[in-house]
Structure 1
Amino acid sequence: MDDFTPEQVARGRALRRAQLPWALGARAAGLLPLLLLGLTPAGAGLVGWAGDLFGGSRTAQVLAGVALLLLLGELAQLPFGARLRVIRREYGLITQGWAGWAVDLLRGLALGLVLALPVGYGLYALTDRSPEHWWLPAALLAALLVPLLSFLFPLLVEPLFNRFTPLPEGELRTALLDLAARDAIRVREVLVADASRRTTALNAYVSGLGATRRIVAYDTLIGTADPREVELVVAHELGHVKHRDVLTGTLLGALGAAVAVALLGLLTSWQPLLDAASATSAADPRSLFLFAACAAVLGALAGPLQCAASRRIEARADRHALELTSDPEQFIAMQRRLAVTNIADVDPPRLLHLLFATHPSAAARIAAARVWSAGTPGPRVSG
């Protein structure tokens, strides 16, 4: 904690305390309405009503129900997201206006519809064909869909929300490409994302698989951090590639999707749940909100486990950055800059950290760098 001034520590804690009730509220707003609609006849009634607006056929019920499900989810969480945005703007983290935010919400909703409507239609086509064993082909298709989306995401989805420009020729671009080459990692290009039109936060990442892989840095990072600090951030992201975290995460995501579909098949075949939802079977479109409620519960239960795995992966990427650069001093300087600029709570309460944190805390990452330095021949880190 000596790495941060009392004012910096207090500011991070104040932001966390201001955001926490609204962040938890957003999670509750995403789950509780689904439980209410999925475990009562109300959800079945909404699906029937939405389907009647478009002719009342089974297909109309499925497609209109999926669209209504997404719209209600957005509306339920909208007040909490707006309040979080106000808080972050008060702390100087948000630069985007309300109009831009609304456009992003509409883009996200449109993208959700593009993905969810075919998935919903395919799901109920499978349940109609085989009400008891639909989950077997559905699990296989879900497992195949995850890597496909992972490959297409940087090409089709990321450009919808950010503009990317090649990092100009110069010392920094050369240093980043040399860093990747030294790590024996092939990258397609180095891009700068125009994150500053939304936020002042600093970040970088490596996205894509194979031919689509590229280093992406926020323009806020390029414009404010020292070049060596940018290298350290990118070295961390290259660690994910070196350890095949993207590939492993994609494969585990595919496996998780298949397991989730199998569990959904088990849950939606349980008669008491179907009775509660006023659905005759999983093939009944009126079971749509029951599917969504079960999926939301499974996601909530898996969340802490996913966070724990993420923290281990991020800690390993930190070690990789230290090994690749042999520069713990600049690594610590980079962690300080990230924490202060992003107004992070550098040492959050343990329970919150275990439940929700995807990265080690700033204090833990700096301490780990000092431990690494103490056990490595060469210059030692002071302080």
Structure 2
Amino acid sequence: MRTDTDTGPAPDTGPAPGADDFTPAERARGRALRRAQSPWAIGGRLAGLALSLGLGLTPAGAGLVTAAGGLFGGGRTATVLAGTSALLLLGQAVALPFGARVTAVRRRYGLVTQGWGGWAADALRGLALSLLLALPVVFVLFALTERSPDGWWIPAAAGAALLTAALSFLFPLVVEPVFNRFAPMPPGPQREALLALAARDGVRVRDVLVADASRRTTALNAYVSGLGATRRIVAYDTLLDTADPGEVELVVAHELGHVKARDVLTGTLLGALGAALAVCALGLLTGRQPLLSAAGAGSAADPRVLPLMAACAALIGALAGPAQCAVSRRVEARADRHALELTGDRERFIAMQRRLAVANVSDVDPPRVLELLFATHPSAVRRIAAARAWRPAP
């Protein structure tokens, strides 16, 4: 669900066009939620970054890794794996209070239906997935650094690119089922309409699934995930229960726009390139003696360099965030236009955007600086204004 137009964004002065589509109470509610949760969400990011930098740029991280490895004999492999686990566990511990506070705020606004037990179980699942992914990757990485302390980053960059591509393909099959249950949409008019919409758009999908999102949230959503044989349309049960069939089709039409524009493939390729470049940057940074000295590590082959690598990766990610958000907003705007072109139903598109914004308690016109730094989608009022400015091709 997304928007913008060929005419560019609305001016930043005064309420954006489309603001009148929301009542003062709806606008105030979304703004209040944003103000209540943003300090905790942003604070969690900053705390995680501060932790990474504090451990990576001082001997504290090296001490943590050494102590963790000592619990398992102190060998090189034990230190690498135990140190990685310790860093992930500590990062999770720091992030947990902030995530809990955001969840509490969202529960107060009726967006969270999941109990604290389910929330804790999801946090543990996320940690387990992180460990399952990180431990083999770091093990291979340090095998490369041991073999070639100066040139390890060359094969590691290629491996990072391949891993990113593989995860994009496997994500809907391996990761999504960990957090949601999926069931085939029962045969009927809605399923046939969505399959017909995809066929009309020239997009082949394997199935139409329903995600049991209602056990966790009241938010509305749908998406198309996977590549090739794993591609499927997924609709939240909350969306199917509250939106009319035409609005559901518009949400899916937007998602099909991503497929038509090859956004998943392009995103995978860009992600692979970004992962490779990030590894190259790590190779450059961990080869600098002042940084190694600050971190209490001897070389890139020293397990004590782990916190420095994590700090550099966190900093690279933070600096790249606004640019990634800017690209995402343009991609979402293009998918909105595709939905309009595929359905030709401007008024229902506007009604759907309004429903999504109200149901998700969105700040429909957030401060521009927050939108530029953190928003992956244009604001609701910009999307509606873009829809009104859209004209069908002659």
Q: 19, 29, 34: which is aligned to 1:11?
A: 29
CA offset at residue 29 of structure 1? Answer: 1.5
CA offset at residue 20 of structure 1? Answer: 1.1
1:154 aligns with 2:172: yes
Q: 167, 178, 184: which is aligned to 1:166?
A: 184
Instruction: Provide the secondary structure at the position in 2 that maps to 1:188.
Output: coil
Identical-pair percentage: 75
Cα distance per residue 1:65-121 (max 9 Å; x no partner): 011111001000111000001100000000000000111111111111100000110
* Corresponding position of 1:344: 362
In the TM superposition, what are the counterparts of 1:76-155 in structure 2 within 5 Å?
A: 76-155=94-173
Unaligned runs of 5+ in 1: 378-383
Task: For CA contacts below 8 A with separation 6 or more, give which structure has more relative contact order.
Answer: 2
* Corresponding position of 1:274: 292
Cα distance per residue 1:220-239 (max 9 Å; x no partner): 00000010000000000000
Cα distance per residue 1:35-81 (max 9 Å; x no partner): 11100000000100000000000000000001111100100011100
Unaligned runs of 5+ in 2: 1-18
Q: Distance in 2 between matches of 1:312 and 1:88?
A: 28
1:257 aligns with 2:275: yes
Instruction: Provide the secondary structure at the position in 2 that maps to 1:340.
Output: helix
1:353 aligns with 2:374: no
TM-score (norm. length: structure 2): 0.95
CA offset at residue 366 of structure 1? Answer: 0.4
In the TM superposition, what are the counterparts of 1:213-362 in structure 2 within 5 Å?
A: 213-362=231-380
CA offset at residue 376 of structure 1? Answer: 5.2
> Which consecutive aligned stretches of 4+ in structure 1 deviate over 2 angstroms post-superposition?
none
Q: Distance in 1 between matches of 2:25 and 2:293?
A: 56
Match for 2:344: what amino acid? S
Q: Distance in 2 between matches of 1:3 and 1:188?
A: 37
Q: Distance in 1 between matches of 2:288 and 2:352?
A: 52
Q: Distance in 2 between matches of 1:345 and 1:361?
A: 8
Cα distance per residue 1:179-225 (max 9 Å; x no partner): 00000000000000000000000000000000000000000000000
Q: Distance in 2 between matches of 1:352 and 1:254?
A: 27
Q: Distance in 1 between matches of 2:49 and 2:151?
A: 27
RMSD value, Cα: 0.7
1:71 aligns with 2:99: no
Q: Distance in 1 between matches of 2:202 and 2:24?
A: 42
Q: Distance in 2 between matches of 1:268 and 1:331?
A: 50
Instruction: Provide the secondary structure at the position in 1 that maps to 2:21.
Output: coil
1:183 aligns with 2:193: no
Matched residues, number: 376
* Corresponding position of 1:380: none
Q: Distance in 2 between matches of 1:76 and 1:6?
A: 37
Match for 2:261: what amino acid? H
